[in-house]
Amino acid sequence: MSPPAPATPATSLGSPNLTAICFFLAFVAITLAITWWAARRTKTTEEFFAAGRAISGRQNGIALAGDYMSAASFLGIAGLVSLSGFDGLIYSIGWLVGWPIVLFLIAEPLRNLGRYTFSDVVSFRLRERPVRVAAAIGTLAVVLFYLIAQMVGAGNLIKLMFGVSFELAVILVGLVMLTYVLLGGMLATTWVQIVKAVLLMFGAALLCTLTLLQFDFSPTRLFARAGELYGEGVFAPGKQVANPWDAVSLGLALIFGTAGLPHILMRFYTVPDARAARQSVFWATGLIGAFYLMTFILGFGAMVLVGRDAISAIDKGGNMAAPLLAEVLGGTGLLGFIAAVAFATILAVVAGLTLAGAAALSHDLWVSVHRRGRTTHAEQLVVARIATIILGLAAIVLGILFKGQNVAFMVGLAFAVAASGNFPALVLSIFWRGFTTAGAVGATLTGTFSSLILIAASPTMMVDILGHEAALFPLRNPAIVTIPLGFAVGIVLSLLGPEASAAAGYDAKERRIIMGAEDPRNEPG
Amino acid sequence: MSDHEVKALARARRRIAIALSLTVFLLYFGFIFAVAFEREMMARMIVPGFSAGMLFGVLVIVGAWLTTWIYVRWANAHLDPRRAAIQRARPR
């Protein structure tokens, strides 16, 4: 018995689209002009990594949204909703609730304690070198997994939308991104992220409006139509959360992962003070929440107007749901616009990741650990740019190496490592006087490596990718084990060997969290 | 004098930060546990096209917005003025 032939929907996806190419070239032209403008304002390390700390709270909030809303959340969530309905909401909500946690626990202390990386905060009052090495490992693990996911996604997406080869697409993304970061540093990256966030919000709002226009502007009428077509299962938890403990574990990784993502944390150094850091999260939370509500409508819109069979015929994961919806609603013109927005989305996220990885390599490992802080400004800037080139080339090479692999799990992996390796050390160092160097190193390394090991032993890796019968570890996301483990190791190691100088430095740290770096009492002498 | 005030302010910020974090955490995990273990309840329809699970989800999003707004309001109204007062009180 042969399976029915797949539906061949009438779509121009996969053939070069003139509108898409025009919009894309316009985006690249605008962002390169911004880069040229930013390059003339990027002469010091502080300008390169922190845009001279002159970004306003609102600008940074929009840029944070641009840094955070990856192609995974735009195309992936819309696709997930279009194929499984309610389950997509679980991811959107998880990705949003991380933001209040960032605001309450991390944003202001981070801004007041650090300069370029979150290791600045963890290593404050502790022995600097071991802590920085551990934090750099945690940072690079998150950045590389996230980069691989984005680059492979970019290659597939651009191949599908513009009809160029995978390798060419990856190289193109890598080179354009390198131009932004290398020349314009954080200032160019910030404005690329702002332009992208505005385009993405506009594109999503436009698609939403056009969708709801067909349902008398009543979302429930749209949802009800989906229920008529595909049954009421689309409104209830489905097969994405078949194992309940997997859902809980994923939830933990999502809510605490955001607070450990190095490229997000780094953005808080671009604003002048703690008040602006706070405003940034206010804007980011509002934008990201609104965006995910719109994605939910887009997903259902694609389910009803495009149809599930047509969506999964183009891409089994449903990633093309939003572009296909655009084509149904507005023809190849709108499809081209949305395709260009998706491309811009990837560029902005990849630029932020590269900058965060470069800061860990140059500021943490080279300047602080290798040179023990004794470098010239000129050397710091050269090293920062070399680190950027290394990261950019790594992104291109890894993207090509992982061609054809299922890399969707790598974003989950990045969140698990961020939540288990970086988050516990960051929170304990801010809130606990008794935290020690051994505790920080132990928490970061245990959280990072236990996540890596348990994902290697998970059903995603062993059953889905390697094709074994069963997996050594039952859950797809390790966070329910690895977050408590990270905290436990940090606490136990600190209790076993108290560190007098670390405890003594806590008052100064607490003071600086409240009063800021500019408080004259911070620098003794 | 100023040390004492900074410590009191740090304590106040810590208290509100932890209370709001717990609120968001409990709200979200209420949702996650309902998704994981109370599927029937979440599948119940409130009006055609809108289930209890969707309502709960939207409430979590609104809750995240509200707690964010509460913190920003508190910090703008209390944290910043008290910090400024401490800075003014100390002759440089």
The structural domains of chain A, ordered by start, are 18-403 (1.20.1730.10)
- How many angstroms away from the CA of B35 is the closest CA of chain A? 6
How buried is A525 (Cβ within 10 angstroms: 0-12 exposed, 13-18 middle, 19+ buried)?
A: exposed
List the 210-249 stretch of A: residues with Cβ below 8 A of B.
219-227, 232-233, 235-237, 241, 244-245, 247-248
The pLDDT of residue A106 is 94
Contacts of B47 in chain A (CB under 8 A): 220
List the 91-120 stretch of A: residues with Cβ below 8 A of B.
93-94, 96-97, 99-101, 103-105, 108
Inform me whether the C-beta atom of residue A431 falls under 8 Å from chain B C-beta atoms. yes
Inform me whether the C-beta atom of residue B18 falls under 8 Å from chain A C-beta atoms. yes
List the 501-520 stretch of A: residues with Cβ below 8 A of B.
510-511, 513-516, 519-520
Using CB atoms, pick whichever of A222, A224, A251 lies closest to residue B32.
A251
Which amino acid makes up residue A127?
R
Task: Give the span between the Cα atoms of A82 and A325, in whole angstroms.
Answer: 10
| Pairwise CB contact (< 8 Å): A94 & B28 | yes
Residue B45, H or E segment: strand B45-47
| Pairwise CB contact (< 8 Å): A236 & B42 | yes
Per-residue pLDDT of chain A (525 residues; tens, 9 = 90+): 344 444 445 677 767 778 888 888 898 899 999 999 999 998 898 899 999 899 999 999 999 999 998 877 788 889 889 998 998 888 889 899 999 999 999 999 999 998 899 999 999 999 999 999 999 999 999 999 999 988 988 888 888 777 788 999 899 999 999 999 999 999 999 999 999 999 999 999 999 999 999 999 999 999 999 999 998 888 988 877 778 888 899 899 999 999 999 999 999 999 999 999 999 999 999 999 999 999 999 999 999 999 999 998 887 778 889 999 999 999 888 988 888 888 888 889 999 999 999 999 999 899 888 888 888 888 889 999 999 999 999 999 999 998 877 676 788 889 999 999 999 999 999 999 999 999 999 999 999 999 999 998 988 888 888 888 888 998 888 999 999 999 999 999 999 999 998 998 898 898 889 888 766 554 443
| Pairwise CB contact (< 8 Å): A511 & B6 | yes
Contacts of B21 in chain A (CB under 8 A): 100-101, 104-105
| Pairwise CB contact (< 8 Å): A220 & B47 | yes
- How many angstroms away from the CA of A131 is the closest CA of chain B? 24
| Pairwise CB contact (< 8 Å): A511 & B10 | yes
Q: Give the Å distances, CA to CA, from A14 to A320, A321, A404.
A: 11, 14, 17
List the 31-90 stretch of B: residues with Cβ below 8 A of A.
31-33, 35-37, 39, 42-43, 45, 47-51, 53-54, 57-58, 60-61, 64-65, 67-69, 71-72, 75-76, 79-80, 83, 86-87
| Pairwise CB contact (< 8 Å): A97 & B64 | yes
Task: Give the span between the Cα atoms of A427 and A189, in whole angstroms.
Answer: 28
Inform me whether the C-beta atom of residue A281 falls under 8 Å from chain B C-beta atoms. yes
Q: What's phi and psi for A3, nearest 5 deg?
A: -65, 155
| Pairwise CB contact (< 8 Å): A510 & B10 | yes
| Pairwise CB contact (< 8 Å): A515 & B86 | yes
E strands in A9-59: none
Q: Which residue has the tokens 């770096």?
A: A517
Q: What is the ipTM of this complex?
A: 0.94
Please list the alpha-helical segments (H only) found in A214-320: 219-230, 244-257, 262-266, 274-305, 308-314
Task: Give the span between the Cα atoms of A373 and A364, in whole angstroms.
Answer: 9
Both structure tokens of A310: 């047509």
CB A302 within 8 A of CB A82: yes
The pLDDT of residue A433 is 93
* pTM summary value: 0.92
Using CB atoms, pick whichever of B14, B64, B76 lies closest to residue A431.
B14
| Pairwise CB contact (< 8 Å): A236 & B32 | no
The pLDDT of residue A517 is 74
Q: Which residue has the tokens 């992208």?
A: A196
> How do strand B50-51 and strand B45-47 relate by DSSP bridges?
antiparallel
| Pairwise CB contact (< 8 Å): B49 & A220 | yes
Contacts of A247 in chain B (CB under 8 A): 32, 35-36
CB A475 within 8 A of CB A245: yes
Q: Best mutation site among A84, A103, A222, A509 for testing chain B: the one with the most B CBs within 10 Å?
A: A103
Q: Which residue positions in chain B have pLDDT lower than 70?
A: 1, 90-92
Task: Give the span between the Cα atoms of A308 and B24, in whole angstroms.
Answer: 34
E strands in A150-261: none
> Count of CB contacts below 8 A, A vs B?
152
Which amino acid makes up residue A307?
G
Both structure tokens of A268: 């808080």
The pLDDT of residue A6 is 41
Inform me whether the C-beta atom of residue A89 falls under 8 Å from chain B C-beta atoms. yes
Task: Give the span between the Cα atoms of A443 and B70, in whole angstroms.
Answer: 32
Find all residues with CB under 8 Å of A111, minimum gap 6, and list them. A268, A269, A271, A273, A274, A276, A277
Both structure tokens of A99: 């933001």
- How many angstroms away from the CA of B37 is the closest CA of chain A? 6
| Pairwise CB contact (< 8 Å): B64 & A519 | no
Q: Best mutation site among B39, B42, B51 for testing chain A: the one with the most A CBs within 10 Å?
A: B51
